[in-house]
Structure 1
Amino acid sequence: MTAPTSTEASTEKRSRTRFAILASNFMILMLNYADRAVIGVAAPLIITEFGFSNAAFGWILAAFAFTYSPFGFIGGWLADKFGPAKVMGWAAIAWSVFTALTAAGVGFVSLLIIRLLFGAGEGPQATVTAKVMHNWFPKKELGTAVGIANAATPLGGAIGTPVVVAIMDATQGNWRLPFIIFGVLGVLFAIGWFVVVRDTPEQHPWVSKGELAHIRQDAAPAAEDDADADANAEPWWRYLTLPAVWTTAVAFFGYAWILWTFLNWFPTYLVNERGIDLSDLAVTGAIPWVGGCIGLALGGAFTDWLVRRTGKSVAPRRWTVVICLAATGLLFGSIGTVSGTGSAVALMTVVVFLLYFTGAQYWLIVGEAVPGSRYGSVSGAMQMFATTASIIAPMITGYLVDSSLGWTGTFTVAAVVALTGALLLAFFGRVRTPDTRQAGQPAS
């Protein structure tokens, strides 16, 4: 299927298949984060059953990230080579199987191995989502699409937290059953994904000529464009030296540090430090996730509006990251000093809102700096670097909490990491070439 002319498109009713693709991606990412949230909610029970120290359990949490991080790059590379639809579907099956197998853990070593395999399955999802959205949406809708797709991740945490608590309450503290239930759901979701999603609009039988013309109106990346660009584009690794790419990666690292500290340790913080019981955790643990869901959806739409208003495709997104990530770091660093539990949860909700307000922007900044045919690999490399924070942060958090620094020191360290990324992006992160996809060359 080739892109129709504007005359052909004007005579045919425009379909809305791209929104079915967006909805499918939303659902698969919602389950993805619900799966991740299970271990955070179940952590106090797992630690008690096996007698783990916080430091030992930090290694189990970090094991996920040892494979999640490199498979972010591997998933992007595979999406460039074989197509994002296949990569996401098989990744969903893999992570769902290992979600269920977490219930078979009998100690430190077995849980460590299962979490390593689970991380490999989940690694491709963020990079592949960015590739799918770039293939399916015109530039003027891209921020909204990426924002909405990724808004599913905190929503998955918000829904998953009370569901896991309810299951454990109903089964007298059985932490294994939620893993099995979510694993089965994941396989069913993957089957639905394969039915609905294709790599590009040109391959989908539901797409009309009118919709295809709308999607391709501003030369957003497509499989055909990527094939033409391959002959002229530099090797993917050359683009990693661009200031816009590496500073975005460092800022994304700060984002990931706060995210993974929150995801893995905030429920434990509420239980151990604030005295929240398991029933109350269903509400207090879910509230910040709601703020994150709203932040992601609004962040993408807001920067799309700024792009249309200013006519600049990068600067509004870059400064949104700088301002919101810096504010996130400052507020996150102060959580340990807040006296009341309600105040701590409210502050954390604002933190997660601001953090996720930037969530779509990292992918979009890199998308403006590199050709479409190299986007999966370069964005995957960015994610691989950024998500090394998911290895380091949970592990270091365990040691910091057990040390004299405690929770206050833990939050302060995370704040410093986030502020460093925001400042580097502010000073060095300018994209000098507005549209490198068409030029097929690195920005100067």
Structure 2
Amino acid sequence: MTSALLAAGRRTRTRYAVLAADFVILALNYADRAVIGVAAPVIMSELDISKAAFGWILAAFAFTYSPFGFIGGWLADKYGPRNVMGWAAIVWSVFTALTAAGVGFVSLLIVRLLFGCGEGPQATVTAKVMHNWFPKRELGMAVGVANAATPLGGAIGTPIVVAIMSATQDNWRLPFIIFGAVGIFCAIGWFVVVRDTPEQHPRVSPAELAHIRQDAKEEETAPTDDRPWWRNLSLPAVWATAIAYFGYAWILWTFLNWFPTYLTEERGIDIEGLAVGAAVPWIGGCAGLALGGVFTDWLVRRTGKSGAPRRWTVILCLAATGILFGFLGQVGNTFSAVALMTVVVFLLYFTGAQYWLIVGEAVPAASYGSVSGAVQMFATTASIIAPAATGYLVESRLGWGGMFAIAAGIAVLGSLALAAFGRSRA
């Protein structure tokens, strides 16, 4: 069948199979992260760990996740994204399962550090895969749809974890083992479906390859840039995007790690209630990522400009995200809190694909994996600071309300930085 398609010159759609494989891997990635957030109240109670100490366990993941975002991007430039993502999925799945062996603060800390090593490369490698496999006019859609899997993973993973724990008398260890085993099978599927580039894939027809490479002439005529990749970090569009992405990451990691605990402690939701209360905002995020990519692609086609529409989407939506997040502690009931958090996550994720695309407009393709990895490494330092800081803030006299206000300010500052300094060449 493949040879017949090639001979007929029909355009195959293998790039969508690659996108689907990436979607599944990213859904698993966030489902694995969601497990500990849902199980946190039970873990803290059973192992007698305080919120402040548990904040450091959550932050331990980010100590390795952040640098491995850069390392993954650099390795993808050097050895190809297929191998990097596949082996990363195996590593994080093994340590997802080994979380079940945790018996206290130190053991959980070590496992979470190693878990972060595996999870770190996924975002930058995804960006590299999509840039390799899709033309510019489809890139927002591709990155948006691929990353829409991340909140979907949280939305699906949350009720599954709740169901397993409810059926086993709050056994928090079993979900980690099950999710780890599923991850190994997903990694095998990734290696079967994906290749580094369309040129390497036996199921890509010449017509599809021509479609994917339709921007090649424009790239060939663009001025060459022989600077080492790290020199691109001084570009205002790059570091301003990194600051905005930091604000995005602060809101995201606060929500990911602490929202289930907020619902149980401050709003009185039981473990069964988390199946809905903690999952619904993830659905908003899934819609936000998919629609954000499609919307900005439409703006690019409409305006004929690549950079400005994506930049202003981030500026406006990130500012709105921060402002609404700041009011979360002020709403009067649980339904309102979940509804507001759903809007917050929708707007947050509406910007999710854009950071990668703004950087892609600013730097040469050969340096893209390394530069975007460095941007991610800086931005995800928020994933180190936010979980730990939240534990201390909530236990201080500022409480949940003060924590929400501080997170809001950080997001708004990121939006202002991108507005002031983020203009790219496009």
Partner amino acid, structure 2, of 1:46: I
How many pairs are equivalent?
421
Q: Which residue of 2 aligns with 1:307?
A: 300
Aligned CA distance change for structure 1 residues 68 and 345 (closer, same or farther; 3 Å): same
Partner amino acid, structure 1, of 2:388: M
Residues 100-111 of structure 1: matches in 2 within 5 Å?
100-111=97-108
Q: Secondary structure at the match of 1:279?
A: coil
Q: Secondary structure at the match of 1:278?
A: coil
- Verify the 8 A CA contact 2:292 2:353 in the aligned structure 1: yes
Report the Cα distance in structure 1 between the residues aligned to 2:193 and 2:25, rounded to whole angstroms. Answer: 12
Q: Which residue of 2 aligns with 1:367?
A: 360
Report the Cα distance in structure 2 between the residues aligned to 1:166 and 1:315, rounded to whole angstroms. Answer: 45
Is 1:214–2:207 an aligned residue pair? no
Shift of 1:220: 9.2
Is 1:320–2:313 an aligned residue pair? yes
Residues 320-339 of structure 1: matches in 2 within 5 Å?
320-339=313-332
Shift of 1:51: 1.1
Aligned CA distance change for structure 1 residues 122 and 323 (closer, same or farther; 3 Å): same
Shift of 1:230: 12
Runs (4 or more) in structure 1 with deviation over 3 Å come to 228-232
Report the Cα distance in structure 1 between the residues aligned to 2:122 and 2:190, rounded to whole angstroms. Answer: 13
Aligned CA distance change for structure 1 residues 231 and 314 (closer, same or farther; 3 Å): closer
- Verify the 8 A CA contact 2:253 2:382 in the aligned structure 1: yes
Q: Which residue of 2 aligns with 1:66?
A: 63
Shift of 1:162: 0.1
Aligned CA distance change for structure 1 residues 43 and 220 (closer, same or farther; 3 Å): farther
Q: Which residue of 2 aligns with 1:289?
A: 282
Partner amino acid, structure 2, of 1:40: G
Report the Cα distance in structure 2 between the residues aligned to 1:137 and 1:91, rounded to whole angstroms. Answer: 23
Shift of 1:11: 6.2
Q: Which residue of 1 aligns with 2:53?
A: 56
Q: Which residue of 1 aligns with 2:192?
A: 195
Residues 4-403 of structure 1: matches in 2 within 5 Å?
12-219=9-216, 232-403=225-396
Report the Cα distance in structure 1 between the residues aligned to 2:371 and 2:159, rounded to whole angstroms. Answer: 37
Aligned CA distance change for structure 1 residues 273 and 214 (closer, same or farther; 3 Å): same
Partner amino acid, structure 1, of 2:212: I
Shift of 1:233: 2.5
Partner amino acid, structure 2, of 1:25: D
Aligned CA distance change for structure 1 residues 288 and 68 (closer, same or farther; 3 Å): same
Report the Cα distance in structure 1 between the residues aligned to 2:305 and 2:218, rounded to whole angstroms. Answer: 18
Question: What do residues 303-340 of structure 1 show as CA deviations (whole Å, max 9, x unaligned)?
Answer: 00000000000000000000000000000000001110
Q: Secondary structure at the match of 1:365?
A: helix
- Which sits farther off after the overlay, 212-221 or 344-353? 212-221
Structure 1: runs of 5+ lacking an equivalent: 1-8, 435-444
Report the Cα distance in structure 2 between the residues aligned to 1:68 and 1:220, rounded to whole angstroms. Answer: 37
- Verify the 8 A CA contact 2:225 2:364 in the aligned structure 1: no
Q: Structure 1 length normalisation: TM-score?
A: 0.93
Aligned CA distance change for structure 1 residues 229 and 180 (closer, same or farther; 3 Å): farther
Aligned CA distance change for structure 1 residues 221 and 306 (closer, same or farther; 3 Å): same
Report the Cα distance in structure 2 between the residues aligned to 1:192 and 1:178, rounded to whole angstroms. Answer: 21
Aligned CA distance change for structure 1 residues 59 and 230 (closer, same or farther; 3 Å): farther
Which of 388, 399, 404 in structure 2 is aligned with 1:411? 404
- Verify the 8 A CA contact 2:307 2:358 in the aligned structure 1: yes
Q: Secondary structure at the match of 2:272?
A: helix
Percent of paired sites with the same residue: 77
Structure 2: runs of 5+ lacking an equivalent: 1-5
Report the Cα distance in structure 1 between the residues aligned to 2:305 and 2:224, rounded to whole angstroms. Answer: 28
Report the Cα distance in structure 2 between the residues aligned to 1:48 and 1:229, rounded to whole angstroms. Answer: 59
The two structures, once aligned, show a CA RMSD in angstroms of: 1.6
Question: What do residues 251-302 of structure 1 show as CA deviations (whole Å, max 9, x unaligned)?
Answer: 0000000000000000000000000000111011100000000000000000
Question: What do residues 28-82 of structure 1 show as CA deviations (whole Å, max 9, x unaligned)?
Answer: 0000000000000000000001111110000000000000000000000000000
Aligned CA distance change for structure 1 residues 371 and 107 (closer, same or farther; 3 Å): same
Partner amino acid, structure 2, of 1:286: A
Q: Structure 2 length normalisation: TM-score?
A: 0.97
Partner amino acid, structure 1, of 2:112: R
- Verify the 8 A CA contact 2:76 2:369 in the aligned structure 1: yes
- Verify the 8 A CA contact 1:139 1:220 in the aligned structure 2: no
Partner amino acid, structure 2, of 1:423: L
- Verify the 8 A CA contact 1:158 1:286 in the aligned structure 2: yes
Report the Cα distance in structure 2 between the residues aligned to 1:178 and 1:126, rounded to whole angstroms. Answer: 24
Aligned CA distance change for structure 1 residues 214 and 21 (closer, same or farther; 3 Å): same
Q: Which residue of 1 aligns with 2:3?
A: none
